[in-house]
Structure formats: C-alpha cells, structure tokens
Chains A and B, each alone.
Chain A
Amino acid sequence: MNILKNISLLLLLAMSFLACTNKSDITPDFDQTKLVPFSVEFDNIVGDRILSINNTATPYVNSKGEAFSISQLQYFISNIKLTSTNGKIYTVNADSSYFLIKGADKSTRFAKINVPEGDYSQLTFTLGVDSLRSTMDISKRTGPLDPAGGMSEGMYWGWNSGYIFFKLEGTSAVISNDTNGDPTGNKKFRYHIGGFGGYSTPTINNIKLIDIDLTKAGIARVRKDRKSNVHLFVDVMKFFDGNNAFSIAEHPTVMFSEYSVSIAKNLTEMFKHDHTEN
C-alpha cells in the first residue's frame, strides 16, 4: 500500500513538474507528425478605422481626397508556411491551405491550420491561388475553390479560367456617369484582381507572396492546449494609397488588364502584424 501511495505521490510530482515546464516554456522539439491548432487572423481595417460594409453615411477618404464606401471585400489566402526561431520550416498541407476571407463575414477572418509545436518568427503566405491549383483537375477544387460560386460572390473567372483573388467593390461620388465611370449611374467601383501566369501561354501574374516578420510584434509560441493566433491588420486603404497610389475617379473599374499589374503591387503593403495571442 505504501508503495502505491509513493508511486501516486511521485506521479503527482512528475505531473506538477511537467506543468511547470509548460509555464517556463521550453521550446518543444519540432515534430511534424504531431500537429496542434494555430491560426492567422485577417482583421480588415481601412486606414485608422475598422472595415464596415456599406458605410455610406461616414465614408472613408483616400489620399487623393476621394470619399468612398465598401460593399464587398473578398480575397484568397493560400500556401501558408511558418519558419521557427531555430530555422525549421513547416509548410501546411496544400489541401488544407486555401482560405477565402470575406469582409462581410467575420467568421471567415481566421485561417485555421495545424502545425507542429514550436516558436515561429516568420509567417509566409500567398495572396491568391497558385498556378498549380489554378490548373488542377476540377475535382480538386472544392470548398472555397469551387467555381460554382454565384456571380456576385463569385471569385472565379469562367471566360479566362482562373480565380479572382482580390475583389473590392463599393461606391464613390467621384465616379462619373459616362463610360469612363459607371454608365448605370450607380457610382460603383469594381476591382477584380486576378491572373496567375496562364496555362499554356504566359499571362499577367498578380499573385503575391507575403512575408511577415513576427519578431517585432511577438513570435508565435505554438503549443498544444493553447491556441496561438497571429493577429494581422489588413489595411484596405493601402490598396488605394500604396506606392502605386491611384485615383478612384480615374480608374473605377480594374479587372483583367495591364493596369491591374500596377495596382496589384499595392496589395503586398496591406498586411501588417499587430500582435500575437499565445
């Protein structure tokens, strides 16, 4: 009996010891077979305000002084990769690495993935759908990649097969009512950015690789039983006001065109690491 008591005491001690090590947070071994939950949060903002859909009463204003409201914001995030503080790289399985973030639906703001326990100092992902997946058999295009999506919500170009990977629509009073603007008089702007490089003939490629250094605002300490979350601010204003700033009045509609290459460069400036919840 005494022996049993001793053993349970020992076990108790061992357990409390284990619990202690968790708190003192020794970096666990990098084990790709044991995956734990981790997430990246895409928190959409516009300048110094949160994104609110159809905010016509209090519009946003870009650096050109153009007031605008946003009716739709959707974009694809894919191919998430993490680099640990000791240089180990983990690439999320491609089949679980495609996310459609919708500005109007807060439940879509997390890219939830499973990764090995570890301390991660760098996050890499693709804004867009890579050319490999864009040319894959239709049976492999399920979930957010299903081309069945409706025309208004749709992120797929049928006529030029490929995905629209950044879609921003809204209204601005600066848009003219003629064919250079919106002839319907609805003052609508439409930015549908796509182009993955083409199937057989090379075409424009607007896919962006986004690299985020996590060391400044907090590395991700990914452990089982914790839900580490990297919180990014995605600033839509940068799409208008980035290095290739443009005027909504001059370019109210940009879809598959040469000009899209210029403004798509602004997309990389949108992502900023705010903090990490460990």
Chain B
Amino acid sequence: MGTKHWIIMIACCLFIIACKKSADLIEDTTLFGGFTKPANFPEPSYNFANNTITKAGFELGRNLFYEGRLSRNNTISCGSCHMQSAAFTQHGHDVSHGIDDRLGVRNSPPIMNLAWNKAFMWGGGVYDLDLQPIVPITAHEEMDEQIDRVMDKLSQLPKYQQLFKAAYGSAEITTAKLMKALSQFMLMCISSDSKYDQVMRKEQHVAFSELEQEGLLFFREKCAACHTEPLFTDGKFRNSGLLPSEIDDQGLYESTLNVTDRYKFKVPSLRNLRYTAPYMHDGRFLTLDVVLAHYDHQVADLPNLDPFLTQRPGLGISLSPSERQALLAFLNTLNDEKFINNPLLAEQ
C-alpha cells in the first residue's frame, strides 16, 4: 500500500513539473548563479565594479543579444553570427554574412570567457567589452545601424520598457545601459566544463587517456607559450606566418599603425574547436589537420614572424604524425558540451 501511494505521489509531482513551461524553469532563480569564477581560472580582467551582474541585467542582455532590431532592417542579431551551438561563432563560414548578405573579412570569433579578455577583435582596436558591440552594430557589412536608432526602436516596445526598468529601475535607455546589459550576457558565456577542466579540478575522478596525457605534455612543450592554460590564449597579438590574403588584412597594424604590428592577429583560444571550424582569422583552414600542417611546414617567413616560430631552420613547429595524433586527442578534451547546451545562454 505504502509503495503505491508513493508511486502516485511521484507521478503527480512529475506531472506538475512537466506542465511547467520551460521558460518558467529558466526563470527559476536557482539556475542563475551570477558570475562565478571557475576554480581553475585566474582572476577576470573585466571591471565588475562598474557593472554588477544581476539576474534582470543578464536577462535584458540576453534579449538584446538575440534582438534583430540591433540591425538596420531588424534582420540580424548578435546571435546570427555568434550561434551557441557553434560556441558562439558561425560554424561553416570562413567569413560571416551580415545585413543584405554583405560579407565581412574576418572569421566570427567566439563569445566565450570574455571576462578574461583585455583586447577584442582579431586585429585589436577595442579594449573594453562595454564598447565592443558598437563595432558590429555600426559596421556596414554586419548590422549597419546607429546606436541612437537602436535605442529609439527598443524604447517603443513595452517588452524593453519592462526589461530596462527591471534591470535599471527606469525604462529610460542610454548607450551605457544598453552596452552594459550586453556585457552582462557576454560575461556569463563562460566555458569551463570541458574534460580538461574536470581533470584540472580533479572532479569525479575524471582522468585523461594515455594519448590525451601524451598530447597535454606535448602541448605544454610546443604550444602553451602562446595558447596559455587555462584560457588557451595569452591574449596577445602574434604573427603566425600565414601568407597575407588577397585583401591584405594587416591585423593589429591597422589599428595601431606600428610597423612591428603588421600581420599580427589575436591568439585565439583553443577551447571548443570541435564546434568552431573553420579556423584562423579569415577562416582559411577547414580542419585542424590543415592548421597543424601549417605550423609544421607552411609557416611563411614574414617580417614580424613570431619568435616562437623561428627557432628551427624550416620555421614553425615540428609535428610528427604521432605527435599530431596525441595533440588532436588532447585538443578534443577542450570541447565543452555543457557550454553549447547551457539553457541559460540560449534564445528564449
């Protein structure tokens, strides 16, 4: 008799839970834990003192991130070229197509662990996350819109009047409020639950396979100087010996005009590579095999070539087939399935 009662009660509970809309589950405050630094990460670079993350601020930011009205004809949102399923890149596109199918010149970078970023864009130029969204919103080939017009459009919608009021206590929209809400969403896009992270945090006895371990050791010897753990980038701009493309994108030089910055691009993180192909600043390489082949024997002798790539006669980094296999096995442990499926970061 007792068991029967229990079964009925559990069934009832399950029924109630199932009836709850998924949106309600997201609203559950227990899911929003605010910004928490992963135990194996360093202190973030973002200045949280000027932008305290709140649930309402984050939710406003999430709505804005997926809002087409940020673009001139209301068709392109941030999420158009930064898709969660592709670790917030645009998988399968060397360069992205923005408004009216206009093409950009660089590969869409991931919105990931930006709280630890000091510089933005492949070629720098932006050094404050709060100023970053101005670039795609106003860029001719991305959203082609003006910030003041975005604010006009949003202020006419009851939805945003409510969201801004909830986040800031007033429905008035300012540039700073708009940008900081977007920052709040982006700062919460933290990828820190890959197998690598679990091993480093010694969680649930997760361990590397022999091949992965071998790859880690090789990685630390040959790659970690630039792709520094645990973010897998040192955040610097380096020239990796890629031949200039037809459009002659000169990278960091274009925003500094220092000749020593020619063809330097930001060192990308190596997290979530499974979801973010193609690779490099212009998406020229479709597979990781080609990327490794580049470092092994295709590094071009350019001025400003990174010193780490000039240490052997043939330039680059020597990679035997077995070393490549181990390295790829290790890189595979940097994929974070929870990140790309986190319901908190999804369009609601």
Of the candidate stretches A60-68, A79-87, A158-166, the one touching chain B is: A158-166
Beta-carbon contact of A138 and B176 below 8 Å? yes
Chain A contact residues, CB within 8 Å of chain B:
135, 137-139, 141-142, 146-151, 154, 156, 158-161, 198-204, 256-258
Cross-chain contact A198 with B256 (CB below 8 angstroms): yes
* Contact of A139 with B50 in the complex, beta carbons under 8 Å: yes
Given contacts A146-B175, A148-B175, A201-B261, is CB(A160)–CB(B147) below 8 Å?
no
A-B residue pairs in contact (CB < 8 Å), sample of 7 = A139-B180, A158-B135, A159-B126, A161-B127, A199-B128, A201-B124, A203-B255
Q: In the assembled complex, how far is the CB of residue B282 from the closest CB belonging to chain A, in whole angstroms?
A: 16
Assembled-state Cα–Cα distance A158/B130 (Å):
11
User: Please, how many angstroms separate the alpha-carbon atoms of A142 and B176 in the complex?
Assistant: 9
The chain A residue sitting closest to B255, CB to CB, is A160
Cα(A148)–Cα(B149), bound, Å: 9
Known: A138-B180, A161-B125, A203-B256. 14 other contacts (CB 8 A): A135-B127, A137-B47, A138-B130, A139-B50, A142-B174, A146-B174, A148-B175, A149-B148, A158-B131, A158-B137, A159-B125, A159-B139, A161-B131, A161-B134
Task: Please state if A202 and B256 are interface contacts (CB–CB under 8 Å).
Answer: yes
B interface residue numbers (CB < 8 A to A): 47, 50, 118-119, 121, 124-128, 130-131, 134-135, 137-139, 146-149, 151, 174-176, 179-180, 252, 254-258, 261
Give bound CA distance, A256 to B256, whole Å.
9
Q: Verify B146–A151 contact, CB threshold 8 A.
A: yes
Contact of B125 among A142, A146, A147, A160 (CB under 8 A): A160
Say yes or no: B138 contacts A201, CB within 8 Å.
no
- Give the nearest-CB partner of B150 in chain A: A148
B296 CB to nearest chain A CB (Å): 30
- Chain A residues with Cβ below 8 Å from B124 are 201
Task: Name the residue on B nearest A148 (C-beta).
Answer: B147
CA distance A202 to B124 in the complex (A): 12
Q: A158-B134, A160-B125, A199-B127 are in contact. Are A150 and B176 (CB under 8 A)?
A: no
CB-CB under 8 A for A159 and B147, given A137-B50, A138-B176, A201-B261: no
Chain A, residue nearest B151 (CB): A148
Known contacts A159-B139, A201-B261; is A139 also within 8 Å of B148 by CB? no
Contacts of A199 in B (CB 8 A): 127-128
B131 proximity list for chain A (CB < 8 A) = 138, 147, 158, 161
B138 near A257 with CB under 8 A, answer no
CB distance B119 to A200 under 8 Å? yes
Q: Are A150 and B257 in contact (CB under 8 A)?
A: no
How many contacts A-B (CB < 8 Å)?
88
A139 lies within 8 A of B176 (CB): yes
Beyond A141-B175, A146-B175, A158-B139, is A201–B258 a contact (Cβ under 8 Å)?
A: yes
Closest A residue to B129 using CB positions: A138
Closest to B127 in A: A199
A137 and B148: CB pair below 8 A? Answer: no
A108 and B115 alpha carbons, distance in the complex (Å): 40
Cβ of A142 to closest chain B Cβ, rounded Å: 8
A251 and B249 alpha carbons, distance in the complex (Å) = 22
Nearest CB of chain B from residue A65's CB, rounded to whole Å: 31
Whether B134 lies near A204 (C-beta < 8 A) is: no
Q: How far is the CA of A250 from the CA of B261 in the complex (A)?
A: 27
Instruction: List the B side residues contacting A160 at CB < 8 Å.
Output: 125-126, 254-255
Lowest 6 CB-CB distances: which A-B pairs, in order?
Answer: A148-B147, A199-B127, A158-B134, A160-B125, A139-B176, A150-B146
Q: Which residue of A lies closest to B130 (CB)?
A: A138
B50 engages A151 (CB within 8 Å): no
Q: Which residues of B contact A158 (CB under 8 A)?
A: 126, 131, 134-135, 137-139
Are the CB atoms of A138 and B255 closer together than 8 Å?
no
Contact present for A141 and B258 (CB under 8 Å): no
Q: How near does chain B come to A262, taking the closest CB pair, in angstroms?
A: 13
Identify which of B125, B126, B135 gathers the most chain A CB atoms within 10 Å of its CB.
B125
**Nearest residue in B to A157 (C-beta to C-beta)?**
B125
B-chain residues with CB within 8 Å of residue A257 when the two chains form the complex: 257
Known pairs A159-B121, A258-B257; A200 contacts B127 (CB<8 A): yes
Q: Name the distance in Å between B13's Cβ and chain A's nearest Cβ.
A: 47
Least CB distance, B129 to chain A, in whole angstroms: 10
Within 8 Å by CB of A204, from B137, B138, B257, lies B257
| Closest CB in chain B relative to A203 CB, distance in Å | 5
Q: A151 — which chain B residues lie within 8 A by C-beta?
A: 138, 146
Q: Tell me which residues across on chain B come within 8 A of A141, comparing CB atoms.
A: 175-176
Report the minimum CB–CB distance from A179 to chain B (whole Å). Answer: 14
Known: A151-B146, A159-B121. A201 touches B256 (CB 8 A): yes
- The one of B118, B139, B179 in contact with A200, judged by C-beta atoms closer than 8 angstroms, is B118
A194: min CB distance to chain B, Å: 12
Of B50, B118, B175, B255, which is within 8 A of A159 by CB? B255
Q: How long is the Cα–Cα vector from A256 to B137 in the complex, in angstroms?
A: 20
**CB–CB A203/B257 < 8 A:** yes
User: B202 → chain A, closest Cβ, in Å?
Assistant: 36
**Distance A152 CA – B310 CA, assembled complex (angstroms):** 46
B146 touches A148 (CB 8 A): yes
